[in-house]
Structure 1
Amino acid sequence: MPKRILTGTVVSDKGDKTVVVNVERKVKHPLYGKIIRRSKKYHAHDENNEMSMGETVRIEETRPISKLKTWKVLERVGAAAGVATPTVSEITAGDPKDEKVKAPEKPEAEAAAGE
């Protein structure tokens, strides 16, 4: 029997040598006929910790590696879409603590009327 191969998006890479891959499929509702998206998460073995969040990967069914892992990562299909990690300099560049906050100035007409 051939091994199943699925394509999905990496949603977590926090575990050592493990990634969680979200695989979406489309099914037709039995009564109403509308196409519905269904998704399932698979824990897959990533031996070299090469995959990261947001990447599209292809996974293959394999022997049980652990309680949850019965899939392994075959290859990277696409790069991460729009997932960029900011650097320290980018984070501190827009830090509002470095700038002094000034009180808004009142127009002279309102200041004279208030006295």
Structure 2
Amino acid sequence: MTEARRRQFKVGRVVSNKMQKTVVVAVDYLKPHPLYRKIIRRTSKFHAHDEQQCRIGDIVRIGETRPLSKTKRWEVVEIIKRNEEA
């Protein structure tokens, strides 16, 4: 029997909410260049299940969950900061 993995959480910005109950969250992280060791900013996009009606520009916390579709493996846990525009 395998041990249960601890649930991962990430904080990112909502960049798309065009789908029904799904948002795309961009998560920025810093990584050193493999040869030159300069710190580079990288962005990963995650599809997340959204029951909380997020808007573009919101800062959200997403958590790992079971596969919900072909691309959705994350869900919006909380909205940290609402986007004031729109």
TM-score, normalised relative to structure 2:
0.89
Larger radius of gyration, structure 1 or 2?
1
Q: 2:75 maps to what in 1?
A: 72
Deviation at 1:33, TM superposition (A): 1.6
Q: 2:66 maps to what in 1?
A: 63
Unpaired runs of at least 5, structure 2: none
| Runs of 4+ that moved beyond 6 A | none
Unpaired runs of at least 5, structure 1: 86-115
Aligned residues: 82
Q: 1:44 maps to what in 2?
A: 48
- Separation (CA, whole Å) in 2 of partners of 1:18 and 1:68: 10
Counterparts of 1:1-115 in structure 2 under 5 Å?
Answer: 1-48=5-52, 50-80=53-83, 84-85=85-86
Query: Which structure shows the higher strand fraction?
Result: 2
**Identical-pair percentage:** 49
Inter-CA distance 42–27: structure 2 relative to 1 (3 Å threshold): same
Deviation at 1:72, TM superposition (A): 0.3
Q: Which has the higher contact order (CA 8 A, sep 6+)?
A: 2
Query: 1:15-66: per-residue Cα shift (whole Å, max 9, x none)?
Result: 0100000011001112212110111110000124x21000000000100011
TM-score, normalised relative to structure 1:
0.67
CA RMSD of aligned residues (A): 1.2
Q: Please state whether the residue corresponding to 1:11 is helix, strand or coil.
A: strand
